[in-house]
Amino acid sequence: GAVVSQHPSWVICKSGTSVKIECRSLDFQATTMFWYRQFPKQSLMLMATSNEGSKATYEQGVEKDKFLINHASLTLSTLTVTSAHPEDSSFYICSANPGLGNNEQFFGPGTRLTVL
Amino acid sequence: LAKTTQPISMDSYEGQEVNITCSHNNIATNDYITWYQQFPSQGPRFIIQGYKTKVTNEVASLFIPADRKSSTLSLPRVSLSDTAVYYCLVGIYNTDKLIFGTGTRLQVFP
């Protein structure tokens, strides 16, 4: 099946710094990728839709200037958490769909962000 | 996007069959029903997908009645490793964003 990777798998940073998380589709191209955030014991919450070559679409309540998304190629989307604060500590997960009649979303393994 | 409702949690014992039902009263004509499994600190993993009637694969079965307003995921002979959260979602996945509900936390005991 299609594989989606994320890097890093975990990151610890100081408050006020920015952190970049990469999401890659390893064996397929994806014009659209999705970013989710998940707090402990809670469900996944969709943050934004990343569109290759155009601006991301953010869900209501998600600050676009706080969570910068860049989808520069058909296999890579990045999420940058700018000026991170402890409340941004969470599990960030991306997903992508290979298209071509495939109706399944493939998820990355997630990135654990801890802001001190 | 259709909202789904599932039980918050379920308990079972090894070797038993587990059935998790999901309600999706507002499912649209073009929507598929998909179930995902998630272990702690991992991304969700696809289990099964269907549109109507019954679908079976090597790990589960999915039962969908004619009105498609609900669906049941059936896990035969669960093991300890099936302890996870199971999410039911509806949508058109090659284009749709996915909205996750609460999911069902399944705990399998020895």
d(CA B18, CA B102): 18
A34 touches chain B (CB under 8 A): yes
Question: How does pLDDT run across A1-25, given as a tens digit for each residue?
Answer: 789 999 999 999 999 999 999 999 9
Check pLDDT > 80 for residue A102: no
Mutation target among B41, B92, B95 for the A interface, most CBs of A within 10 A: B41
**Residue type at B48?**
I
Identify which has the larger pLDDT, A95 or A101. Answer: A95
Could you say which of B94, B97, B100 has the minimum Cβ distance to residue A49? B97
Number of C-alpha atoms within 13 angstroms, CB side, residue B41?
4
d(CA A4, CA A106): 6
Q: Are residues A107 and B43, on separate chains, in Cβ contact within 8 Å?
A: yes
Residue A61 region, left (φ>0) first, then alpha (ψ -120 to 50), else beta? left
A35 touches chain B (CB under 8 A): no
Identify which has the larger pLDDT, A99 or B73. Answer: B73
Cβ neighbours of residue A90 under 8 Å, at least 6 residues apart?
Answer: A37, A38, A39, A113
A9 touches chain B (CB under 8 A): no
User: What was the pLDDT predicted at A54?
Assistant: 87
Check pLDDT > 90 for residue B98: no
A28 touches chain B (CB under 8 A): no
Question: How does pLDDT run across B28-37, given as a tens digit for each residue?
Answer: 888 899 999 9
Check pLDDT > 90 for residue A26: yes
Question: How does pLDDT run across A35-79, given as a tens digit for each residue?
Answer: 999 999 999 999 999 988 889 999 999 999 999 999 989 999 999
User: What was the pLDDT predicted at B30?
Assistant: 85
Average pLDDT for A89-112: 89
Could you say which of B46, B87, B103 has the minimum Cβ distance to residue A104? B46
Mutation target among A28, A34, A57, A107 for the B interface, most CBs of B within 10 A: A107
Tell which residue, B98, B69, B74, B70, has the closest CA to residue B86.
B74
Check pLDDT > 60 for residue B1: no
User: What was the pLDDT predicted at A99?
Assistant: 74
User: What was the pLDDT predicted at B86?
Assistant: 98
Q: From the CA of B9, how many Å to the nearest CA of chain A?
A: 12
Q: Are residues B98 and A95, on separate chains, in Cβ contact within 8 Å?
A: yes
